[in-house]
Amino acid sequence: MKEARPDNISISAEPPQAICKQTGGKDMKRIVALMLVALCMLLFLVGCGQESTQSDTPSQSTEESGSAPLKVALCLTGPANDGGWCQLAYDGLTASKDQYGIDFSYTENLQTTDMEAALTDYAAQGYDLIFGLGFQFGDPALSVASKYPDTHFIVFEGSVEADNVLSCKISNEQSRYLLGYLAARLSESGIVGFVDGPAQPSIIKPAEAFKLGAQTANPDTQVLITYCESFTDVALAKEAAIAMLDQGADVIGHGANTAGTGAIKACEERGKLAMGAAADQNSLAPDTVVCSDMYSFGDVLLYIVGNAVDGKFENGIRSYGFAEGIINLAPYHSFEDRIPQDVKDEIEDLKQQIIDGSLVIPVIETPTT
């Protein structure tokens, strides 16, 4: 094994002069050799001890002083400036750095095969919180968490849990329920629609909530739902909305990200109403988009970091919605005076019931008939 030798310790090739004067040549060489062996063994032991301490545990003074900032890492499947949810997460931790003084690092464009290694690297460096943005981080987080019990792992849209693992979901079923309720109250034909992305559980959930809200407002409301196999194909979503309009729908919501803007465009061209999604989309069609829900992954990160700074960590599987301030409804803009006051009051009352827990919107992840 190669020995580690600190740079600030030098070993002279010349024997000490005092020893040379008192001993013969052979004895002197034997003594010097023994001294060199002893010194090398000492340096070897010191070097091994330093390596073990640096790689496994933080310094005791750092832990006891409480002055060290929280160390937070973010692992992304895409670029931090993607203009989408990766950027929302990045912006959330940037806000956390400004508000709480955290040490913040991130890794972009991680492939599935690299996720466990990235999580392990941050954990080995002593990071306190490690975020994985996407359900794909679930199994890697569980694997690494078992080896680093003092590190907390957070998986977005995950379904895994452990003492030091949190899976967090956005409760957009709450806001889509309200938008569905509003759509039915404004509909003159009694037919509303919802254009969604690929039919996966987390995508079916908001569509079914929209349907439930509409039929709560008016049990006779017919709700048309179409799942598009794309979040980016604007033309495809527009085509789906046109088919709904041809069937008599006069209010259409969506949950198809960029593709959903095609549904808004179809409503605008036909002079019908639309609901926005995930952000205030009124500016896309001011005379068409009545209301939108707004939510941010970045705000969830800020919420979790704030808890960690206060010494709190929620494990298990958690959902974040109106009560946590993660979801809200956008203003009605030009529709403020066009929506009957009793309808606006009903929406606000339902929202408050969701916040105080007296109204729980069910999570439905399979299509209903």
Shared domain check, 155 and 86: yes
Does the residue 30 lie in any domain? yes
Whole-angstrom CA distances from 248 to 39, 189, 303 are 90, 7, 43
CATH number, domain at 151?
3.40.50.2300
Any residues with CB less than 8 A from the CB of 184 and at least 6 apart, and which?
192, 213, 214, 215, 216, 217, 218, 221, 251
Do 189 and 148 share a structural domain?
no
Residue ranges making up the domain that contains 215:
172-295+339-356
pTM of the model: 0.65
Residues 251 and 271 in one domain: yes
Question: Is 311 part of a structural domain of the chain?
Answer: no
Residues 198 and 257 in one domain: yes
Helices then strands (H, E): number in the chain? 12, 12
pLDDT tens by residue, the chain, 369 residues = 333 333 332 323 333 333 333 334 444 445 444 444 444 443 333 333 332 222 223 333 234 435 589 999 999 877 787 655 677 788 889 999 999 999 999 999 888 899 999 999 999 999 999 999 877 899 999 999 999 999 999 998 788 999 999 998 889 999 999 999 999 999 999 999 999 988 888 889 999 999 999 999 999 999 999 999 887 789 999 999 999 999 999 999 999 877 899 999 999 999 999 999 988 899 999 999 999 998 877 788 888 999 999 999 989 998 889 998 889 999 999 999 999 999 999 999 999 999 999 999 999 999 998
pLDDT of residue 82: 63
| Rounded-to-integer distance, Cα 66 and Cα 202, Å | 40
Q: Are 73 and 105 in contact (CB under 8 A)?
A: yes
* Alpha carbons 36 and 325: distance in angstroms, whole number: 67
Distance CA 120, CA 143 (A): 9
Residue after which a domain boundary falls, among 170, 200, 231: 170
Same domain, 34 and 96: no
- 253 with 273, same domain? yes
Q: Domain check: are 283 and 215 in the same one?
A: yes
Q: Give the pLDDT of residue 266.
A: 98
Q: Please report where in the chains the tokens 């900032």 appear, as a residue.
A: 69
Residue 200: per-residue pLDDT: 81
Residues 225 and 195 in one domain: yes
Contacts 24+ apart (CB under 8 A), 45-50: 46/6, 47/3, 47/4, 47/5, 47/6, 48/4
pLDDT score of 228: 94
Does residue 328 form part of some domain? no
Structural domain ending residue among the three candidates 102, 137, 170: 170
Q: Which of 110, 136, 170 is the last residue of a domain?
A: 170
Residue 86 lies in a domain: yes
Q: What pLDDT does 29 receive? A: 45
In a domain, 261, yes or no: yes
267 shares a domain with 236: yes
Q: How many residues does the chain have?
A: 369
Is residue 130 in a domain?
A: yes
Please report whether residue 193 resides in a domain: yes
Q: Are residues 210 and 267 in the same domain?
A: yes
3-state SS assignment for residue 249: coil
pLDDT of residue 48: 35
Same domain assignment for residues 199 and 136:
no
Assigned domain for 366 exists: no
Pair (192, 99) in one structural domain: no
The total of structural domains in the chain comes to: 3
